[in-house]
Amino acid sequence: MTSRATRPHRLAAKDITLSRWRHGFKSRWGCQQNRGCADPADRGATNAVLGSTWACLRGADWAVSNPERASGPGATGEAVTALELLGIMWRIRFFEEEVPRLQRAGLARGLLHLSVGQEGVAAGTCAMLRRDDLLYTGHRGHGHAIAKGVPLRGLFAELMGRLDGVCRGLGGSMHIVDVEHGLMGATGVVGGNIPLAVGSAMTARLGAREQLTVVLFGDGAVQTGYFHESVNLAALWRLPLVFVCENNGFAEFTPRSAHTTVERVCDVVAPYGLARQTVDGSDVIAVREAFGVLAAAARGGEGPALLECLTYRLRGHYEGDAQKYRAAISQAEWRDRDPIARLRRRGVSEGWFTDEAAAVAEGAAKEAVDEAARLARESTAPPLELMERLVYAQLEPA
């Protein structure tokens, strides 16, 4: 018999049935939180709500098997190990930490929305996708693009407005598209890509393809009318679509309690009959496992699903945000929430990888990001004629 440290653990996905998501999750995940913080200026009450949410998640009895290897294929077509997940999250973290430096140097312009602290959602979700699966994201989408396999150099160059960017420097941070890697688009319109994801899923269904569409968005997008219209159509037509909500507690600068009485996004979609689950978004293994089962069901014809990931963004809504609407968390609390530190501690403890291997993965990620940023700086700006050609239709001479 192989030892715990060496045997290839697999997800026990078959032991977690969809019926568990359709019944009784409020008792499992629902904390009795302070609902008296409707005033967005009341930062103390707001942070009390977020703190009780976090305490609930830490004490939740929904067990995960924390496997070394996922049962589903990742962006490369092969299973993704826990060590590879750690590397992906480090690549996202280092990328997002480099972006503000580029902005201060005058190389990256425009509003930049960083996902430091939310890396577990991107890595855990994309680890269970096939290369031909389609992904839609929003304004905070750098991490999603990296996890889906979009080249780092192309992302950096795009943020710098350079010709080597994934959109030839003409899209920028909030309009990244890389069809080759299945990234169908980001948008600066809150939730704007949700209806487009419904269209892609409908195309896959009509074409009888086993292709999955995933759309990621924040909890603020749930308050839009087209979110409900999209969920309704997806449920009605039983589309192969998974909605993934990164619920970080704030719609831009406004706490969730100030704009809705429905605490959990899973409860919002309950009338539509979707399979749904709420997980700790800072636990990349929990995200991967829950998403994997929902994705398999949607791909298999059981209809759409929603995964709500309770997460935390360490930085502001945009780079430069003074964050006067919320109190900073302590370093000790951040160590508990940091998805990278959590996976590293648990991975070493469970014997999935050694501390030395984790350090090598961190160093490799830093080297890859630094090299990509260097190469992107060497790229030139797109020529004016390219911008004109891509914006205006080229009429054939009569």
Task: Return d(Cα 153, Cα 343) in angstroms, integer.
Answer: 26
209 against 249, higher pLDDT: 209
What is the average per-residue pLDDT within 338-346? 93
Task: Return d(Cα 188, Cα 362) in angstroms, integer.
Answer: 31
Identify the DSSP state of 262: -
* CA dist list (Å): 105 to 99, 108, 112, 160, 172: 10, 8, 14, 11, 17
Q: How far is CA 54 from the centre of its chain?
A: 18
**CATH architecture assignment, domain 42-56+83-378:** 3-Layer(aba) Sandwich (3.40)
* Residue found by looking up tokens 């507690």 in the block: 249
At 9, the pLDDT band (50, 70, 90 cuts) reads very low
Six-digit token string for 50: 């977020």
Task: Return d(Cα 312, Cα 44) in angstroms, integer.
Answer: 17
Task: Return d(Cα 42, Cα 219) in angstroms, integer.
Answer: 20
At 343, the pLDDT band (50, 70, 90 cuts) reads very high
What is the average per-residue pLDDT within 165-186? 87
pLDDT of 214 over the 70 cut: yes
pLDDT in tens, 12-35: 332 222 333 333 323 323 332 332
Task: Return d(Cα 351, Cα 348) in angstroms, integer.
Answer: 5
User: How is the chain split into domains, by residue range?
Assistant: 42-56+83-378
The amino acid at 169: G
What is the average per-residue pLDDT within 171-179? 85
Q: How far is CA 116 from the centre of its chain?
A: 11
Helix (H) or strand (E) holding 247: strand 241-247
- The three-state secondary structure class of 71 is strand
Helix (H) or strand (E) holding 184: strand 183-185
pLDDT in tens, 86-105: 999 999 999 999 998 988 88
Helix runs in 271-382, H state only: 284-299, 331-337, 339-350, 355-377
The amino acid at 285: I
What is the average per-residue pLDDT within 201-218? 92
